[in-house]
Amino acid sequence: MYTLYSMQRSGNSYKVRLALARLGVPYNLVEVDVLKGESRTPEFLAINPNGQVPLLEVAPYRYLAESMRHWHNQRTLAELIAKAGWRDVEWLNLTFGVVALHRATKPLTTPVPKPEPS
């Protein structure tokens, strides 16, 4: 299960909580109070040298540390998804486009076996 390091009052953390909620993705929540310096402890800096929240642990010792700075805009991301072989790419803007969820379908590449005649 994912673990989200987040601060309740952080807008960047809110975007990630909103996206996870809309996707129905369960996660553990770790509250990090950046105003008390909790994102600048040696333990936190070891997992996110930026010393910021949100931080999403997606697998043991694998973290996503940016909620938006390095991401493409919606249209460019949709084009990249389509280039990767997905069809019917569309997106839903949340919070006036600050958060967006993309959805697409991918055809099966291996034929579905026909059922054995009985």
Where do contacts with ligand GSH occur on this chain (CB under 6 A)?
10-12, 34, 39, 51-54, 66-69
For 7, residues 6+ apart whose C-beta sits below 8 A from its C-beta are 13, 31, 32, 33, 34, 53
For 20, residues 6+ apart whose C-beta sits below 8 A from its C-beta are 2, 4, 27
Distance CA 73, CA 10 (A): 22
Distance CA 55, CA 68 (A): 12
In degrees and rounded to multiples of 5, residue 81 shows phi and psi of: -65, -45
To ligand GSH, the closest distance from the beta carbon of 32 in angstroms equals: 8
Q: Using an 8 Å Cβ cutoff, are 89 and 83 in contact?
A: no
To ligand GSH, the closest distance from the beta carbon of 70 in angstroms equals: 8
To ligand GSH, the closest distance from the beta carbon of 4 in angstroms equals: 12
Which residue, 42 or 107, has its beta carbon nearer to ligand GSH?
A: 42
To ligand GSH, the closest distance from the beta carbon of 101 in angstroms equals: 17
Which residue, 57 or 89, has its beta carbon nearer to ligand GSH?
A: 57
Which residue, 56 or 81, has its beta carbon nearer to ligand GSH?
A: 56
Which residue, 54 or 78, has its beta carbon nearer to ligand GSH?
A: 54
